[in-house]
Copies of this chain bind each other. A is one copy, B any other.
Amino acid sequence: MSRLAGRRVLVTDADELIGPEVVAVFRENGAEVLADRRDLTVPDAAAALIAEAGRVDVLVAHLAASIPGRLATESDDAELDLMLDRLVRPLHRLTRAVLPQMQARRSGKIVVVGAGAALRGVPRRAVYSAARAAQHGYVRAVAAEVAPDNVQVNATAQTFVENPTYFPAEYQGTAEFKDRMRQVPAGRLASAREAATFLLTLAGPESDFLSGQVFPFTGGWIH
């Protein structure tokens, strides 16, 4: 009955973005969840985390970064590096650390919580969109590599999900926000709980035949 009964799930950046709701929803669905909060920009942190975690049936690569929100011409090398440090390097480290055990068991899932910014461009997102798109490219290639070992790697491309980092309450009252909502067919933000619930599909048996997919979760903003 429980969709993730008996599965050990590791969730990274568990206090950021939709982390708390992922932990809660996955537990409600029977998973044993390891909620990690360490700073994964530290080079050895990912390997240490996987070593400590023991068996990981599902890795939810949930990586957070504050969007700089600057024009490309104002955005320096450091800003790009910060995005890569938070969103791309840790994904590679986590993946290469966790794959061997999954391949050995011929069973495992990596779920990358990605962003719609990778697929549809908006101003003031250049370095953020680059890093988020890198996640998707990485997912597609690794997925093809490990599919024969019955390990599934898939991602979302979510946006318009309620959270205090990207959509603070004061912003939700602005005309700019209302104008953006008019461009979203659903006409609203998703709750963090809805976004977490959607991830169950990529973490459970429903994803056994998915490999390298990037599923938009955007209220219809991205097809």
Segment from A6-14, A52-60, A112-120 that makes contact with B = A112-120
Known: A88-B84, A129-B140, A141-B117. A197 touches B206 (CB 8 A): yes
Which residue of B is nearest A199, CB measured?
A: B206
Instruction: Determine which residue in A122, A195, A206, A223 has the highest number of CB atoms from chain B within 10 A of its CB, and name it.
Output: A223
Known: A127-B138, A145-B72, A223-B213. A77 touches B194 (CB 8 A): no
Known: A84-B88, A130-B88. A220 touches B137 (CB 8 A): no
Among residues 52 to 97 in chain A, which have CB atoms less than 8 Å away from a CB atom of chain B?
A: 71-75, 77, 80, 84, 88-89, 92-93, 95-96
Q: Determine chain A's interface SS by DSSP, over half rule.
A: helix
CA distance A147 to B131 in the complex (A): 21
Instruction: List the B side residues contacting A1 at CB < 8 Å.
Output: 1-2
CA distance A141 to B130 in the complex (A): 8
Instruction: List the B side residues contacting A89 at CB < 8 Å.
Output: 77, 80
A201 at the binding interface (Cβ < 8 Å): yes
Contact with B along A194-217 (1 / 0, CB 8 A): 110110110001101111111111
B141 touches A125 (CB 8 A): yes
A168 at the binding interface (Cβ < 8 Å): no
CA distance A33 to B191 in the complex (A): 29
B96 touches A75 (CB 8 A): yes
CA distance A126 to B118 in the complex (A): 17
A27 at the binding interface (Cβ < 8 Å): no
B96 touches A119 (CB 8 A): no
Q: What are 5 pairs between A and B in contact, CB < 8 Å?
A: A74-B96, A121-B141, A144-B185, A200-B206, A211-B220
